[in-house]
Amino acid sequence: MVTDMPTRRDALVLLSGLIAQPWAHGTVNSHQARMVASWTREGRQEVGVLALDRSESVKVVRRLELPTRAHGLSVGPDGTVLVAARRPGDWLLKWHPATGASTWHWIDDDRQLNGHLMRLDDANQVLTTETDRSSGEGMIGLRRTDTLQKIGEWPSHGMDPHAMLLLSAQLGDIPAGALMVANGGIPTQSETGRSHRQLDRMDPSLIAMDPRSGRVFDQWRLPDSRLSVRHLAFDPVTRRVGVALQAEHDDNGSRMAAPILATWDGHQFSAVASSGHSHGYGGDICARPGGGFLVSATRAHQVVATKPGSALVDRLALHDACALAMARGQWWAAGADHARSAGHSRMGLAGFRLDNHWAWAS
């Protein structure tokens, strides 16, 4: 059984009776990876490109100072990076690391950014999750990618919309290309910043909609309304969407034991029971090479793996585990003081603390 003291062990820990080497999936012939991430270093917030290889430490290749902490980011085919401020956010950035060119957009309508954005593949457009400061209702903003100016918006049909996903295959009656939105469901108010209020009013949901019009295809809810729906990933092997959850129960015991993963297969949206405490906080999620999902259980200092079919199979100790990514058949995970990937030894993150998410650059 894995404990909460990961710093004493830096090896893969297999739970008894489970499949062997669940972390070894994936090719490891890619000796170097470039990841785009944001971080805090010496009190400054920055976004940049990181080089991860077999050396002992992660190297900063490019960087740009940010006005406040960032959260979600996206790398385009031309290498352009889009960054959204952490909620309650008021800026967006388009940055080209190779040239250093940057475009800033400051929010000046009565909206706040909720930290995530999503490019529309075949258009010069990007979607942002937002909150109407007046009503507290969730909104999806449609913006031009080149200027980041808003050109449309529609309701998210819930409070606190967070991550989004474009569905890459039809699931049930929901067509490929549909926009999946994680409505976190937590009431917030601009006067109290990031605090969560009136949790008995929580109404988290997963919603499928047309990414260009906001037309709703369908909406799903878990039975437990205190499980906030936060981050999304698609597993092409099992053809499911994995949803990282964050528990908001009043009592500590319920939070500690709460599930941190739910899955949706086009029909059913259900939580995956947590064997052992995951401390009720799923910080990020990605598909697991070979099928299933990886979820960072940040407060339990672990990365949790599931196999196809959703059952939890293993936990990898990683202090303050959070940012996850899967690319070219390989997973990448970052914690407070080092990063891990399949087949690579630990790579130090000395001197800077990564934010919740990162993305494959090359």
Closer residue to other proteins in complex, CB, 56/106: 106
Element (H, E) at 253: helix 252-257
DSSP state of 79: S
235: Cβ–Cβ under 8 A, 6 or more apart, which residues? 241, 242, 287, 288, 291, 292, 293, 308
Q: Please tell me the count of residues contacting other proteins according to CB under 8 A.
A: 33
Q: Which two tokens stand for residue 128?
A: 């942002």
Can you tell me the distance from the alpha carbon of 248 to that of 243, in angstroms, rounded to the nearest whole number?
16
Supply φ then ψ for residue 252, to 5 degrees: -60, -40
Of the residues 27, 55, 68, 213, which one makes contact with other proteins according to CB under 8 A: 68
Closer residue to other proteins in complex, CB, 25/279: 279
For residue 7, the SS3 value is: helix
Closer residue to other proteins in complex, CB, 133/212: 133
What are the CB-based long-range contacts (under 8 Å, 24+) for 6-13? 6/301, 6/302, 6/317, 6/318, 6/319, 6/335, 7/319, 9/317, 10/317, 10/346, 12/314, 12/316, 13/314, 13/315, 13/316, 13/317
Of the residues 96, 144, 196, 221, which one makes contact with other proteins according to CB under 8 A: 196
Question: Minimum distance between the CB of residue 129 and other proteins, rounded to whole angstroms?
Answer: 12
Question: Minimum distance between the CB of residue 356 and other proteins, rounded to whole angstroms?
Answer: 5
Question: Minimum distance between the CB of residue 124 and other proteins, rounded to whole angstroms?
Answer: 21
**193 is a contact residue toward other proteins (CB under 8 A):** yes
Residue window 122-151: x/- pattern of binding to other proteins, with contact defined by CB under 8 A:
-----------xx-----------------
Distance of CA 282 to the CA centre of its chain: 9
Of the residues 246, 274, 278, 302, which one makes contact with other proteins according to CB under 8 A: 246
**274 is a contact residue toward other proteins (CB under 8 A):** no
**42 is a contact residue toward other proteins (CB under 8 A):** no
Render the burial of 334-348: b for 16+ CB within 10 Å, e for the rest: bbbbbbbbbbbeebe
Question: Minimum distance between the CB of residue 100 and other proteins, rounded to whole angstroms?
Answer: 14
Number of C-alpha atoms within 13 angstroms, CB side, residue 258?
A: 29
Q: Which two tokens stand for residue 78?
A: 């031309």
Of the residues 87, 240, 301, 307, which one makes contact with other proteins according to CB under 8 A: 87
Question: Minimum distance between the CB of residue 197 and other proteins, rounded to whole angstroms?
Answer: 8
The DSSP code sequence of 164-229 is EEE-SS-BTTBPTTPEEEEE------GGGTT----GGG---EEEEE-TTT--EEEEE--S-TTEEE
Can you tell me the distance from the alpha carbon of 157 to that of 160, in angstroms, rounded to the nearest whole number?
10
**249 is a contact residue toward other proteins (CB under 8 A):** no
Cis check for the bond before 88: say yes or no (omega within 30 of 0).
yes
Can you name the residues that pair with 83 across neighbouring β-strands? 73, 93
Q: Which stretch binds other proteins (CB under 8 A): 54-62, 101-109, 286-294, 339-347?
A: 101-109
Question: Minimum distance between the CB of residue 282 and other proteins, rounded to whole angstroms?
Answer: 10
Of the residues 25, 63, 71, 315, which one makes contact with other proteins according to CB under 8 A: 71
**253 is a contact residue toward other proteins (CB under 8 A):** no
Of the residues 42, 78, 108, 251, which one makes contact with other proteins according to CB under 8 A: 108
Return the CA Rg of the chain: 19
Can you tell me the distance from the alpha carbon of 37 to that of 361, in angstroms, rounded to the nearest whole number?
10
Q: Which stretch binds other proteins (CB under 8 A): 102-110, 175-183, 266-274, 305-313?
A: 102-110
Closer residue to other proteins in complex, CB, 92/318: 92
**86 is a contact residue toward other proteins (CB under 8 A):** yes
**104 is a contact residue toward other proteins (CB under 8 A):** yes
Closer residue to other proteins in complex, CB, 85/347: 85
Closer residue to other proteins in complex, CB, 53/224: 224
Applying CB under 8 A, the residues found at the interface with other proteins are: 43, 67-68, 71, 86-87, 90-91, 102, 104, 106, 108, 110, 115, 133-134, 162, 188-197, 228, 230, 246, 281, 283, 356
